[in-house]
Amino acid sequence: MQESLSALIIDRSLDILRRDYEEEEVKVEILNDISRIFTNEGFIDLSKGSEYTLPRWIAKTLEEEGVVKIKEENMDLEKLSKIAYNEEATLKKPQLVKLPPHFYMLVREEIENIKKSLQERQDINLLDDLKKYIDLLYTIGRIRLRKIINTLLMIEVSQDFLDKMSMEEKLLYRILRDSLMTWVSELGIERI
């Protein structure tokens, strides 16, 4: 299956955003002494009990090894529920709740962490949390997408309207539709 140009553009743009997310600096607390780690600032020694800022990808690797603890606020169910509630409360208004810069990536990372935990231990509470995260991400994403599109377009496209479009206009419509579908799929805000 050949990808459309707009889908390819969205995919590549999201790849760049993912890289930016992984390069973003996060605070970590050092749990064990580490000597000579290479960061953007060169080689540094990390001392137990101190705090540093490291690129997320390095922090995640060190956290998996039990050397550091990432101090970043996670996107828990309470925060997601609050965001979903506020978005639903303003459904008819062209306003958005402020989100962290890499909101979808943060939530997707939480979902992946729960999935990993489920592989290690089967826990009905984790399965319930996973379902809640997926449902809340879907709800938030769809409401925000609707608000964004409504704000940009300010109209719903009827079949009559589509029938009156020129071929060039239909091409533009398909590119926008394909871009949106790729975006929705890539960020995981579609029902599986």
Q: For the chain, which residues make up each domain, given as ranges?
A: 73-155+187-192
Q: What is the pTM of this model?
A: 0.75
pLDDT at 152: 57
Residue 89 has a pLDDT of 92
As given in the structure block, the two tokens for residue 121 are 């231990």
Please give the average pLDDT of every successive group of 10 residues along the chain, which has 192 residues.
73 87 91 75 79 89 89 88 93 82 89 92 92 95 83 62 64 73 79 58
Residue type at position 107 = V
User: First CA to last CA across the chain, in angstroms?
Assistant: 20
Helix axes 77-89, 124-153, angle to 10 degrees: 30
**Interatomic CA distance for residues 110 and 130, integer angstroms:** 9
**Cβ neighbour number for residue 12 with a 10 Å cutoff:** 10
**Cα distance between residue 158 and residue 58, in whole Å:** 49
